[in-house]
């Protein structure tokens, strides 16, 4: 069973039971505009999933695990073997330099997982320039679980992934069944949003929902 493999700010793991109760039992498509660590996606593993996040390094990581899983695992083993504080800071600079140059590949995906596991608080944090700047957390353990990454790769095989600004558009999930009974379609947006995102998302939903014939609900989390 696939599980989130990155620790991510605003993850929804603690809310999974609540979200689960609110999820429609049947739906034809699952759209997650702010994927982050993907707690909800990995819990429900919807068949027809459209997943998106504007963080390019993050979406590259999912994409590389889907398409080049064994290469990512091999890079991860190499990184773990060299683990030290000095090496962590070397990889951190390398990661930032490669993001700046737009080099999104399997090696960058491995660096992201490595940094996420060995950084302070285990959270992906960037400064105003967009550079990952969390310090080393001193951990010596492995940065990945091979079985978990293989399961994630399997779970992602049919997912349609994008890396867009969701405030420019909107992803809506419709219930496949029960629509007629309800007499209207219902939008399910799986995410809690930071306040700026919540406002933007709410505005976008209000703007596009009527033309799609759907009603929408936005839950503001933080
Ligand atoms: C709180 S996390 C999502 C948590 C996730 N839904 C979960 O269940 O673990 C928010 C994510 O939204 C992404 N994000 C922020 N603004 C965005 C935007 N305008 N368009 C798309 N993604 C955005 C961030 O990169 C971040 O990964």
Structure tokens at 57: 């390094």
67 and 24, same structural domain? no
Instruction: Supply the pTM of this predicted model.
Output: 0.81
- Regarding whether 145 and 169 lie in a shared domain, the answer is no
Domain count, the chain: 2
For ligand 1, the distance from its centroid to the CA atom of residue 54, given in whole angstroms, is: 7
- In the listed set 120, 140, 159, which residue is the last one of a domain according to the structure? 159
Q: Which domain holds residue 83?
A: 56-159
CA-CA distance, 32 to 171, in Å (whole number)? Answer: 7
β-pairing verdict for 49-52 and 185-186: unpaired
205 shares a domain with 155: no
Q: How far is the CA of 71 from the centre of ligand 1 (A)?
A: 26
Lookup: tokens for 144: 């990945």
Residues 74 and 148 in one domain: yes
Atom of ligand 1 nearest to the CA of 200: 19
Same domain assignment for residues 46 and 87: no
Q: Which residues line ligand 1 (CB under 6 A)?
A: 8-12, 33-40, 53-55, 58, 165-167, 191, 197
Asked if residue 220 and residue 168 are part of one domain, the reply reads yes
Q: Pairing relation of β-strands 185-186 and 160-162? A: unpaired
End residue of a domain, out of 107, 135, 159: 159
Q: Atom 25 (ligand 1): residue with closest C-alpha?
A: 55
Calculated CA dihedral for residues 77, 3, 157, 11, nearest 10 degrees: -100
Q: What tens digit of pLDDT does each residue of 185-196 get?
A: 444 443 334 445
Q: Say if residue 112 is in the same domain as residue 195.
A: no
Q: What is the distance in A from the centroid of ligand 1 to the CA of 131? A: 17
Under DSSP, the state recorded for 28 is: S
Domain co-membership, 143 together with 169:
no
Domain boundary among 138, 159, 180: 159
The DSSP secondary structure of 62-130, one letter per residue, reads HHHHHHSHHHHHHHHHHHHHT-SHHHHHHHHHHHHHHHHHT--SHHHHHHHHHHHHHBGGG---B-TTS
Residues 67-79: tens digit of each pLDDT? 999 999 999 999 9
Taking only the tens place, the pLDDT of each residue in 134-188 is: 999 999 999 999 999 999 999 999 999 999 876 655 444 333 333 333 334 444 4
């Amino acid at each position: 069973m696939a599980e989130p493999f990155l620790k991510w700010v605003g993850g929804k793991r603690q809310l999974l039971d609540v979200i689960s109760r609110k999820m429609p039992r049947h739906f034809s498509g699952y759209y997650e505009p702010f994927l982050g660590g993907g707690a909800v996606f990995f819990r429900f593993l919807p068949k027809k999933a459209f997943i998106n996040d504007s963080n390019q390094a993050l979406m590259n990581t999912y994409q590389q695990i889907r398409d080049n899983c064994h290469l990512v695992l091999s890079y991860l083993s190499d990184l773990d073997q060299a683990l030290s504080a000095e090496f962590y800071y070397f990889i951190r600079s390398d990661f930032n330099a490669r993001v700046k140059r737009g080099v999104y590949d399997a090696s960058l995906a491995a660096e992201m997982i490595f940094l996420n596991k060995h950084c302070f608080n285990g959270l992906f944090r960037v400064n105003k320039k967009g550079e990952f700047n969390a310090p080393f957390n001193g951990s010596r353990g492995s940065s990945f679980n091979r079985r978990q990454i293989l399961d994630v790769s399997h779970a992602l095989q049919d997912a349609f992934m994008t890396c867009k600004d969701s405030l420019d558009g909107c992803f809506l999930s419709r219930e496949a069944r029960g629509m007629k009974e309800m007499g209207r379609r219902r939008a399910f947006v799986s995410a809690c949003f930071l306040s700026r995102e919540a406002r933007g998302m709410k505005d976008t939903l209000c703007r596009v929902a009527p033309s799609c014939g759907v009603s929408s609900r936005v839950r503001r989390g933080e």
